[in-house]
Amino acid sequence: MAIQKSFLKSKNICKVTFSYKPEKGQEAYLVGDFNGWNPENSPLKPLKSGVFKGVLDLETGKEYEFKYFINGNFINDEQADAYKFNEFAGTENSVIAL
């Protein structure tokens, strides 16, 4: 799992790169506030290396909750800026702060 942030000086936007390498044969999806928690709208695309990678332009000055969706399981990112309890799911979500 990896998160990279690139803040744009001319706009209130941060290009955030998410990457996840699942076990062989698995697919990875990124879900969160930015895509309605819908795996079908995941920005992650598979690379030849087996890593799933995606870039989102997110507004700065905000926090976004997210998780990876792997084989029907939601997984937090170890590199998240924080974790926030989600009463609906009864578990914590990863948080990225911009």
- Please, what are the domains in the chain? 2-97 (2.60.40.10)
Helix (H, G, I), strand (E, B) or coil at 11: coil
Q: What string of pLDDT tens digits covers the 98 residues of the chain? A: 899 999 998 899 999 999 999 998 899 999 999 999 999 999 999 999 999 999 999 999 999 999 999 988 999 999 999 999 998 888 999 999 99
* Number of neighbours of residue 41 by Cβ within 10 angstroms: 13
- Report how far Cα 96 is from the mean position of its chain's Cα atoms: 8
Q: Which residues of 9-24 are buried (b: 16+ CB within 10 A; e: fewer)?
A: eeeeebebebbbebee
